[in-house]
């Protein structure tokens, strides 16, 4: 059985949304159940129950859309251990020069709160094609491996 995958992106930011939809299409073709949703329409409390969340962001820090800042506020209010069981990865485009801006800050917070990072955060400049290809290939490989483990019978000795 597949784990459902939630893919979050900000609107109206074009390239992050485009990357999220490219990734959602790829994962769906690979047989995964994927829900791509604007972070402004996502109930942040679902983060406590979702199993796999992939996040595509654009910009850094205060340049984020209001919905992303609200999402970050919600995540910052959680306690360590609240996200135990969540598998996640963050991809960000054109992130700010500060080490804890945008995607890096979110990646750190999710890990600190108990989430399991399935692929290291990748931060790309405006020319993101290569970085996105690396991130999407890595995420796809990890999820395919996870799916294979879940579908394979576990040998048992009697």
Backbone angles phi, psi at 140, to 5 degrees: -60, -45
Q: Which pair of structure tokens corresponds to residue 65? A: 């859309």
Predicted local distance difference test score (pLDDT) of residue 101: 60
Residue 120: is the preceding peptide bond cis (ω within 30°)? no
Domains and CATH numbers, the chain: 5-151 (3.40.50.360)
Average pLDDT, the chain: 83
1 has a pLDDT exceeding 70: no
The model carries a pTM of 0.86
Those residues whose C-beta lies under 8 Å from the C-beta of residue 9, and which sit 6 or more positions away, are 16, 17, 19, 20, 21, 36, 37, 38, 39, 55, 56, 57
More confident residue, 59 or 72: 72
The per-residue pLDDT for range 6-55, each reduced to its tens digit, is 999 987 667 888 899 999 999 999 999 999 999 989 988 999 999 999 99
Rounded distance, CA 89 to CA 120, Å?
A: 7
CB atoms closer than 10 angstroms to residue 54: 27
Quick check: 152 pLDDT over 50?
Answer: no
For residue 122, pLDDT over 50 is answered with yes
């Amino acid at each position: 059985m597949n784990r459902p995958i939630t893919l979050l992106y900000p609107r109206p930011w074009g390239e992050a949304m485009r990357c999220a939809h490219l990734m959602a299409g790829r994962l769906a073709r690979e047989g995964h159940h994927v829900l791509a949703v604007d972070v402004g329409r996502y109930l942040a409390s679902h983060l406590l129950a979702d199993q796999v969340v992939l996040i595509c962001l654009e910009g850094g820090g205060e340049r984020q859309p209001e919905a992303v800042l609200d999402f970050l506020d919600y995540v910052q209010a959680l306690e360590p251990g609240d996200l135990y069981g969540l598998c996640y990865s963050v991809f960000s485009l054109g992130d700010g020069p500060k080490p804890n801006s945008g995607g890096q800050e979110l990646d750190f917070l999710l890990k600190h709160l108990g989430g399991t990072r399935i692929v290291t955060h990748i931060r790309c400049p405006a020319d993101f094609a290569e970085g996105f290809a690396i991130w999407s290939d890595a995420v796809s490989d990890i999820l395919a491996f996870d799916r294979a483990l879940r579908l394979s019978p576990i040998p048992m000795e009697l």
